[in-house]
Amino acid sequence: MIPEKVFHHILALGEGWRVQQVDYLDKESKVLIRVENTPALWVAERCPHCGRTGVQGYDHAPERRWRHLNVCQLQSEIVCRPPRGRCGACEKIYTVRAPWEGRSRGLTQEFEAFALTLMREMPVSKAGEILGETDTKLWRALFAHVDAAWSELSWENVVWVGADEMNRKKGHNYLTVFVDLQTKRVLLAVEGKDAGVWERFADELFSHNGHPKAITQIAIDMSPAYVRGVRENFANATVVYDKFHVVSQVARAVEEVRRKEVRVDATAREHLEKTCWLWRKNPESWTEKEGRRWEQLSDKPLVTGLAYAMRLELQKAYASGSAAVARTRLVNWCRWVKTEAAEMTSGLLAPMRQAAEMVERHLEGILGHWQRGLTTAFLEGLNSLFSATKRKARGYRSTEYQTAMLYFVAGKLEIPYYG
């Protein structure tokens, strides 16, 4: 079989196209597959404007190239002057879309599908190195794919929603990420962290066959802006403050206590030196060294130690079997923390008192954890998802890139299959 025929088969061109010539460019280690249309193309061709047959060849557009899968480890490109047709019915002239054309310019469908598969597994820059393509071209393919697949998603059955912030650190643009807690997928990422992001989410629900009134439960942190956004846009939803956010807010209070204590008390400063990580973890995740450190510290009169014990006690409340038991334990916890804080004249426990007041204020939503049987473990996993997203989008920090990558890795979009 001569090469032209072989490539005709490989590219599955059908009758409307033929491989005119295959050139091997020694210097660039590249194969150029020159393709042209045959008269048979016009037999089946339908006008994109009126849908009728009877299109005739008019002329050819300038030459274009499409990167294709490698052939025997050589880069290959399809080269073609796309034909222009003239419709006999509506008389419009248009350029025929090549059957191999991908969603982004200059890449074939097969190459795009392969590139997307690589980008699922590794940072875009790394995929670019392997494929010998620029980041820009690969990102363009990713954007084209994500845009198309994401806009077709149906959110018809979405009823349990969670939201969290990505890029909490200063100097980054905040992103609020909405997730479907049942199918465990990212639905939407919106710039900002104010109440307005909830309006955006409500709007997007309409465009995806969903409805704000269908949302019955929403898991969020206790930020007043989020609470307001939910109230204003999701009348049927019960707010649930998930365990992860409650515990991490209390953990942050412990951290504040430690910082204050180090500042005001020289003896405490000596004891607390380099123990930052100890207080952030649960005892079961301590290293052996950290465990020994804790034993040394346990008989010292440290306010940080007391604050830490308070946090562990709150976590224990989450082991309660029912909402009724949990309510009692949480109410008792708040009372205990506030009493201790009031008795401590140094004021060091103030952050813990504030945390207790926050728990009191949001008690009903916190108890939703038991009443609704809502598992928000997926929300807790979001932080590692966010890091994975940033790793893959390394070097591209704008929200546009991060959003596309989020949808790509966690939106459960299909990689298109070109059969």
Binding site for Zn ion (CB under 5 A): 47, 49-50, 87, 89-90
Nearer of residues 93 and 264 to Zn ion, judged by Cβ = 93
Q: Write out the DSSP string of 128-188.
A: HHHHT--HHHHHHHHHHHHHHHHHT---TT--EEEEEEE--STTS--EEEEEETTTTEEEE
In the sheet that holds 17-25, the strands lie side by side as 17-25, 30-37, 74-80, 64-71
| Buried-state track 180-203, b at ≥16 Cβ within 10 A, e below 16 | bbeeebbbbbbbebebbbbebbbe
Side-chain-facing half-sphere of 193: CA atoms under 13 Å? 16
Give Rg (Cα) of the chain.
30
Q: How far is CA 24 from CA 36, 81, 107, 217, in A?
A: 18, 19, 19, 61
Nearer to Zn ion, 95 or 371 (CB): 95
Minimum CB distance to Zn ion, residue 90 (Å): 3
The residue (of 54 and 416) whose beta carbon lies closer to Zn ion is 54
Nearest approach, Cβ of 82 to Zn ion (angstroms)?
A: 18
Residue 56 or 117 with smaller CB distance to Zn ion: 56
Least distance to Zn ion, CB of residue 36, Å: 23
Tell how strand 83-87 and strand 93-95 pair up: antiparallel
Sequence-distant (6+) residues with CB within 8 A of 118 are 127, 130, 131
Nearest distance, CB of residue 53 and Zn ion, angstroms: 9
Closest CA to 66 of 21, 24, 99, 23: 99
Q: Checking DSSP bridges between strand 175-180 and strand 185-191, what pairing results, if any? A: antiparallel
Residue with smaller CB distance to Zn ion, 50 or 297: 50
**Least distance in Å: CB of 17 to Zn ion?**
22
Minimum CB distance to Zn ion, residue 64 (Å): 23
Q: Which of 297, 251, 249 is nearest to 272 (CA)?
A: 297
Q: Which two tokens stand for residue 6?
A: 């072989």
CA separation for the pair 2, 19 (Å, rounded): 11
CB 92, min distance to Zn ion, A: 5
Q: Residue 90 or residue 325: which is nearer to Zn ion going by CB? A: 90
Q: Which is nearer to Zn ion, 58 or 418 (CB)?
A: 58
Smallest gap from Cβ 9 to Zn ion, in A, equals 32
Query: What letter does residue 212 receive in the DSSP assignment?
Result: G
Nearer of residues 53 and 298 to Zn ion, judged by Cβ = 53
Q: Give the shortest CB-42-to-Zn ion separation in angstroms.
A: 13
Contacts of 399 (CB under 8 A, 6+ apart): 173, 175, 189, 191
Between CA 368 and CA 80 the distance in angstroms is 62
Output the smallest distance, CB 98 to Zn ion, in A: 19
Q: Which one, 86 or 293, has the nearer CB to Zn ion?
A: 86
Given the complex with Zn ion, which of 90 and 276 has the nearer CB atom?
A: 90
Question: Cβ neighbours of residue 20 under 8 Å, at least 6 residues apart?
Answer: 4, 34, 35, 36
